[in-house]
Every structure is written in C-alpha cells, then in structure tokens.
Amino acid sequence: MELSSSAIWLIVTLLAVVYLYFQRKFSYWKDRGIPYLEPTFPMGNFSWKGDGSFKELFHKLYNARRGTPFVGGYFSINPMVVATDLDFVKDVLVKDFNNFHGRGIYTNEKDDPISAHLFSLDGPKWRSLRMKLSPTFTSGKMKFMFPTIVEVSERFNEILGEILDKGTDFELKELLARFTTDVIGTCAFGIECNSLKDPNTEFRKYGRMVFITSRLRFIRRIFVRFPKLAAKLHFVTFGKEVNDFFLGIVRQTIEHREKNNIRRNDFMDLLIDLKNNVTMDEEKKIKLDKLTLEEVTAQAFVFFIAGFETSSTTMLFALYELAVNPDIQEKLRAEINAVYAKHEGRLTYETMKEMVYLDQVINETLRKYPPVVALQRKAENNYKVAKTKVIIEKGTPVIIPAFEIQRDERYYPNPEKFDPDRFLPEAWKARHPMAFLGFGDGPRNCIGMRFGRMQTKVGLVMLLKNYRFEISDKTPIPMEFSTKAAVLSPAEDLHLKIVKI
C-alpha cells in the first residue's frame, strides 16, 4: 500500500521537528560558552553502532579542553560534564562529595534484583549499605582470608605447570580470570568453584556472561544511562538467567550455613548477619533495616564480578609489562626472593607488606591500565564550579576520565613508559592527590581495595617466584584495547612465553 502525500508530509514534518529539537538541545554547552565536542544526531557524542569505546570517547572529550575545569559532552540530548582539572576532580570526589555522592546508574530492585548493589545505589540506601559492609574489608578480615588466597594460588601454580608441559607460549587472560574466580568464589560464597581445573564450571560460565563483549551488551550499557526509561520498560541489566543463578546460589549457601551452624568469618557471613540482625547507624543513632535475600544476593554478586574481573586484568597487564620490561621483572623477583629467604620460605599477610617494589609495580600497572576507565558522579543540586561563574545543573552526570588523567604528561612525563619509580614516596607526594585514581577516591572509593590488592599481590608473587614471563611472536606491542568490554581489556588474546625457573 502506497503512502498518501499527506502521510508523507506528516512523516517529514515529524522528522524535521525531532531533528530541530535535537539541534536545540545540542546547543546547551555552546550557549554557556563551555568547550565541547560537537555532537551528532541522534546519540550526541556516543556511537549508536557500538563500534567505539567509552575510552576513545573520553579521550576525544578530554583533549577538547581549553583551560576550563571541564568540557561539555552529550549522551544523546543529555548534557554531561567531563572533568579536565584535578582541583575540580577533588571538589567532586572529596570536598563537595555531598553534592556528588550518587552515580546516577540504573537500579531496579523489583525487576532486576541484583542491580541494587553498592556500586549502583545512591542516597541514603547507599550510605546505609556502605556502613554495613565496611567491616568486611578491615585488615583483620583480610588477614583471615589470606591463607585461602595462598591456597588457591598454589593450585594455580600446579595447573600452570601442567599446562606448560604442552608448550611455553600461552594465552593468560582466561587462566587468570579462572584463578580470581576461584578466589572470589571461596572468599565470598565459601564455595570451591574449581574453575582452574574445569573452565566450564557454572561460576566461570556466569562470570563470562556478565562481561560478554557482544553488540547486545554494548546496547545494554547505553540503555542503562537512561534509568527512568529503563525502569518504565522493566529493563534487566544482566538477564534473567544470571539473576536466577546468583539468587539460587546465595539462597543455598545461606540455608546450608544456617542449618549446619557454619561460620567462616568471610563476606557471606557478614551478609547473613545483616539479613538476620538489626544494625545501628552510630552517627544518627537509628536502627537500620535488615537485608532481604535479594539485597544479600546483589552485594555478593557485585563483590564477585568486581573482584574477579578487575584483579585478573590488573595481573594480566602487570605480567605483560614485566615481560616487555625484563629488568623490572628481575628487580621485582629479587625482592620477592629476598623476603622469602628472610622469613624461611613463608609468605604471610605481614611478610608481604615488606614487598614495597611489588606495590609500586601494581600502582604503575593501575596507572597505565585502570580497570574502570572513567568514574561517574551526578550533581544532586545546582553546583557552582569554584573560581568560575559556571553552574552545573542538578542531575547532570560528571565524568572523571581516569585513563586520560593517568596518561597525561602534565602529571606523568613520558606517560607510555612503564616506570614503577613514579610511585616512590617522594614522587607520589610531589603529584596532585587526584592524579592517581586506580581505586577512585573520596567516601565512594572502591570498598574492596584492600582485598583486590591482596589478591593481585599474592597471585603475582606466586607466579613470579616460579616462572619467568617473556614476550612471544604473538605478544601485541603496542597494546590495543577492546572497544566493547566493560572493564579495560586487551583487544585480542594476550600471549606470553612462560619459562619455569
């Protein structure tokens, strides 16, 4: 059936109205005299095709700066702020945190239970939950979990030795993810995942599903930036199958522990306590609600996905740089061996603190390869930017491009060079405190920072004590990054030559 001329004119008119509406919205930053990246219809500065990455976008925005504290960008028709000045970053993350405590990320406790976790929640719910969960990550709890991580690391060494019997050139990304999956599964759920021996275990399967780099996943990442629309459409971030798996695992774990009176002093124990007992907000002197099963599951879920993916990629990039820079690798190995020799071949929570060069290597890895390339906050009220007349309006997202800041030659000369000495105490103190954002900063920094560091350090120590890592014909130099992964990842498999010492 052919369209009538009136119908065609109506369609053309509607399209013209929509286009003009977008163009008017796209003048937001220009009207305010703020440097900005020119948007395009209909996605603003984002690609609707999914053929670009957030890292690439923030690189373009960061380099559009013109001496102002931030540049303007557009997520479709919605304006966003991209910070380019470290004093402004400090104001957002620390000094004026009360106006930027939220992330503005989609959560939907009814339709998508595991989306209501600490990373996504805002306002009083976030504050209450953060206070409840903080005791999990004290140095005392880390010390208790340390032997478990060492035990999994020793199994990791055994598996790697068996694999090396078949050849020395090996793809590390998947194996490291299996290692951190087993660590998190044990420490968070008290479950032996055994993904090191069997890569097709359920925990590894669902871990891969969360971080799958398909076009659909990219579209989902775009969609959750419109939380009100997503809620109206009953959007589910990770799919029903992932929700059902983690709800089932948590329910079974809780029932087993409560029935058999099992205590492991781990993350799940704390969550069970919060489910069963009323806690107090000592600051406000009020009682806090117990956690529901769904809330417990959401926190266990985010601890799992954040713990295994970020730590495994940090280990991966560290080993890559150590292979490319063998002198640094040998210096680190010498430190590891010296500490072992000093303490009669034992690795403990206390002795690992003596490996200061290891800390420098990890910090430099996080500088070059921050797992989360950008932090996000949302203005809770209209906010006047210090030393300017600029007002950031309520609800505007503020993006802090950690990857770009940490590769800015103003703060790190020759930023592409891997140099752990950048994190000597005197060098660190000489820089702006916001020049390193490997774990975020301020009251909403990474709550699991201690655990993530500990897991990464133990894994690297066990590997470097027993193996030498070298580049192979398949090693990518320079490193190229995936355009679709949620966490900073290599574009392709990362092969290194591994030699048993």
The reported pLDDT for the residue numbered 43 is 86
Tokens standing for 497?
């030559």
The reported pLDDT for the residue numbered 280 is 44
Exposed e or buried b per residue across 305-320, where buried means at least 16 C-beta atoms within 10 angstroms of its C-beta? bbbbbbbbbbbbbbbb
Q: In the block, which residue shows the tokens 């601890």?
A: 303
Q: For the segment 63-109, what is each residue's pLDDT rounded down to a tens digit? A: 988 788 999 999 989 999 999 999 999 999 999 999 999 998 888 88
Show the low-confidence residues of the chain (pLDDT under 70). 1-3, 48-52, 168, 212-225, 278-288
Query: E-strand spans in 331-419?
Result: 375-378, 383-384, 391-392, 397-400
Q: Do the beta carbons of residue 69 and residue 84 sit within 8 Å?
A: yes
Query: How many other β-carbons are positioned within 10 Å of the β-carbon of residue 256?
Result: 12
Q: Is the peptide bond before 478 cis (omega within 30 degrees of 0)?
A: yes
Q: In the block, which residue shows the tokens 């419109």?
A: 226
**Can you tell me the distance from the alpha carbon of 41 to that of 303, in angstroms, rounded to the nearest whole number?**
38
50: left (phi over 0), alpha (psi -120 to 50) or beta: left
The reported pLDDT for the residue numbered 321 is 99
Domain made up of 96-370+406-500: CATH architecture: Orthogonal Bundle (1.10)
Q: Any idea where the domains of the chain sit in the sequence?
A: 96-370+406-500
Beta bridge partners of 470: 497
DSSP label at residue 484: S
The reported pLDDT for the residue numbered 436 is 99
193 is in an annotated binding site: no
**CA-based nearest residue to 25, from 72, 83, 70, 59:** 72
The reported pLDDT for the residue numbered 285 is 47
CA 150 to chain centre: 24
The reported pLDDT for the residue numbered 270 is 86
